[in-house]
A and B are shown apart, each in its own frame.
Chain A
Amino acid sequence: MSEVTLTIDGKSVTVPKGTKVADAAKQVDIDIPVFCYHEKIGPLGCCRMCLVEVEKMPKLMTACTMDVAPDMVVRTTTEKVEKAQKGVLEFTLLNHPLDCPVCDKGGECPLQDNTFKYGPPDTRMEFHRANNVKAAPLSPVITIDRERCIACQRCTAYSERIEQGQGLVMLNRGFYNEVNTFNNEPYDTRYSGNVIDICPVGALTNTDFRFKARTWDLTNHDTLCAHCGVNCNITVGTRLNKLMRIEARPNDAVDDGWICDKGRWGHNFMESQNRITAARENSVGATQPTSFPNFPIDAPTEHAAEKVAEAFKKIVDEHGPDSVGLIGSAYATNEESYLYQKMFRLLGTNNIDHKTYQDTPGLPIDHYDIEQIESSNIVLLIASDPTEELPILDLRIKKAVTNSGTRLLCLNDQDTALDKYADQKVKYKVGSEASAVDALAEGLARELGDAIEFSAALDQTGISADEMKALVEAVRSSMKVCVVYNPAALSGDVGLRVKRLLQVISKIPTVECGAIPVAPATNAVGAMDMGLVPDFYPGGVSVTDTEQVKSLWGENAPTQAGLSALEMIAKAKSGELKALLVHRSNPAVDFPGGAQVVEALKNLDLLVVHDMLETETTQLAKIVLPSNGPGFDEGTTTNIGGRVQARRKSLDTNHIADWKLLSVMLKTLGDETDYPRAAKVLDEISKKVPGYQGINIRGVGKSGLNREKVSCEEISIGNANIDSSGKLRLRIANYLFAHDKILDASSKLAHHFKASMAFLNEKDAGSMKVGDGDAVRILGNGMEINAEVKVDNRCLAGGVVVPRISNEQGVNGLENLDGSPAWVSIEKI
């Protein structure tokens, strides 16, 4: 891109062509006041606050709408400009109530600030200010004060250009303009809260925060959201160790300045009645009311940790190392996961896992950062539904499609909200993803002259040969491809097949390529990197790579692949596994198998659960250890783009930190390392984990650092085969805004909870004689759940999509314990 040099107030500045004068001024620390302009939303030209003088132009110009031009001379402080600024501010304030003393925006209000700097000292308005509705709900979580609105249109432009949902609009005309929704319905998109951050006055406020504190009394903590794999940057405002509000903390590489509503309001769990506040033993079924986080220092927790370590050691001594196992967490920090795998490998086992699907660490091609989506000319989205799973990723993809001309290709078994933006949508039958992915890889390989046969059975997928050909062609002829896929939504070994596909793409000489694995969990990438898997040590070092394992982890480090999470459950059932430690995970509900999982866990000699909230699994534990979790904990997480960022604590607790608890267990097991701070764990990670060299807390700073490539093993895959038993193949759709332990019934976001639904194809609905709105029972794996039918062809015939919308619903129980394809039948009630 070419550069342009211009002069602003005598200072020369060089910026890329297409930059707005308002942004160019920022580069040389010249403040041009704005209201309506927001660099992420683009120019509107509504408020006229940014008027400047430009040489050779007779009129004052708006700096926010004007592109820089070579040798342009801009003046921002002339008499003419100052007069205009005063005039515009006078107009802006004309009908704005002067209720600053009770306004939540007070202290951080651009209208206050601009008036202070540029405004007239008083007003000549002598009429009654226009009356308008004060404080009306715009949604259950947003309050609108129409009297304060200065009609800058930032919020409506956000709805139109960023969300692209046209939910929030300007109604009426002229002086009667108002921000509103259709027919007064609530404005309740998944990312509605951002309008609060961008409103330059106190018109849109956070209902939860209103009148709770003055902004200047808040202590702000720069940290990360912990709800999904994007790891959006947030600022948590606290007062007297109480959480007051959460705001976006723009980081272009991650969130582009936006956060979703779960990030903003889904924080009730921090103060939930369900918090585990103390270690307890044999207390199956009991929950204790809490006063978290201000409970007394509890030595017993550390004591309990020691006891846990000793107990595991004892079982290992009696039954051998493979009689114990760890189910780690895809939500924990890198530090916690690292220490946990270290502990179990010290116990001599590789029975370590954190997931129910097959996957390996690393990628065979570049791991793209989220920002790369915008510079790719093709985004190939496989089995992913960002809108439901990682909403801020959805915004980024939409932005790329609308602003950068990126073409979106969707390969999925269900329809998603992003399909609308897709250049090409290829839908395969539920359960046939292996063949669909292989067919694409095969097609591309053939183009390369490689007659590889991956034995893809295209006919079983429901995809036509032409569709596949077009998809192959689109990828082959692109310049830069970013493959975005959700390993957690792929059954069996399809995650590995995608990696094989990536390998093929990487061989096309004309295509620059990378991928982003978008498993929805907060630290899914970190958990893989940290070696929370049975066959890899941290950094993608295979357990069978004896030499490297021994050099990094010592002579006694186990070098045989351990059990996967689902295998551990199976062995628990058969009695071969004696003891299991579960960290921040709820297998009883979230794993396939349902009742069988519960039976298996009950069968263990020792079940230790280390978690922050009571769950169905903690109820089964012999020992429960408290975990701090987001808000209280400190450490790093690695987002879907491979960016390592620091999660800092916002609230103080007397509770012992997870990493510290782990260091107690490690010490008990004979590990001599001293961990005085969490950052020390990170230092060890940077030494021991390939890919994490050079990552330290200072380097990570406020905006994170990309880790290096984590190595990826050669991929070996068997043949795909689909069996069919005449029933419907179940596809569980993941929803971030689900009614679970994090968003419980008291959540501010309860209005997002959905009813249990079964999405059917017309054909199946017809042959089963069920229709829209019918109540049905879905039966599978000896379990059943109730749902309402929606006939909408979200998936092809032969499948059924059932979203995971709550814990109670137990939809994962319909899947088999071994994780094999789940077939369900449907009965009308």
Chain B
Amino acid sequence: MSIEVKNISKSFGSFKALNNINLDLPPGELIALLGPSGCGKTTLLRIIAGLETADEGSIILSGEDASNKHVRERQVGFVFQHYALFRHMTVFENVAFGLRVKPKAHRPPEKEIRAKVHRLLDLVQLDWLADRFPAQLSGGQRQRIALARALAVEPQVLLLDEPFGALDAKVRKELRRWLRRLHDELHISSVFVTHDQEEALEVSDRIVLMNKGRIEQIGSPREIYNEPATSFAYSFIGTVNEFRGHVEGGYVRVGNDLLPHNRTDLNDGASVIAFARPHDTEIIKGAEGEGVAAKVNRILSSGAITRVELIANGDARQGKKDYFEVEVTPADLAALSLATGEAVRIKSRRLSLFGDK
């Protein structure tokens, strides 16, 4: 089922949680709503589900306006961050609940319900826990049961609200992979909310990046990572080195230092923020010349790539202490022969510039 969000706005008192959101999500994809805490992503998900009403705008599901439809008519499956399993019911009863409470005309016979619940529990690989109570399960198991319960009613859309937010790092990683596999099997349109960029990049077909109630960028994980559209997108996704300064011809002036760039459409004196990924940043020996002056702080050489952490005087971030990260290959590292505390310069092979407000 395709989901279309049109001009949705929502305020809580004077706080604008969503500001004129427009989205058009094709059917069958696994979509991540990504953004920092308080950016409105959970509110948007709840509005799509019908658990919350928008102040303005409409939600269109499969080409049909669903804004005034009740939750139960929207045919959505919802998975909550804290599982929301019914405590006094066994795992089996929890999963069967959605089917058993259907009006008599649509309710499948008991035998069919049993078969279906066992099939779903098989799908989430927890059939052996059918007779346990939620309190006897681990967090990861509970969330998988919650997912089975959401799938039981054969929803047209599956909505997941920070599904792995309350789990530890290792279980998260496992469940992430498992969710992707499950989606590849079922191909049900899914939207999940997360503040974990790694999760969004790894699992989703498409990312909707949000900030302060607005959409910053929509794109595949590759696009979002490689071609961030805004300075927020750049600084939110992945590790990045940030320089603030103003344009001086072919250079960006950062404090007393000059950083070369290759944009031609910028006016002299314009304030800019420049970003460079650690693998696009290089270290130059010597304290003079192009590039931003920095001191080698730590050299972390575990794995195939060595990460060098550097500290600068604070000009690039205007006050906050500057930490830069550079990734170098072992061959380059040997050629550079860096020592901790050494004064060097860093510059970037691929500098992205954004106007600073």
A, B assembled together? no
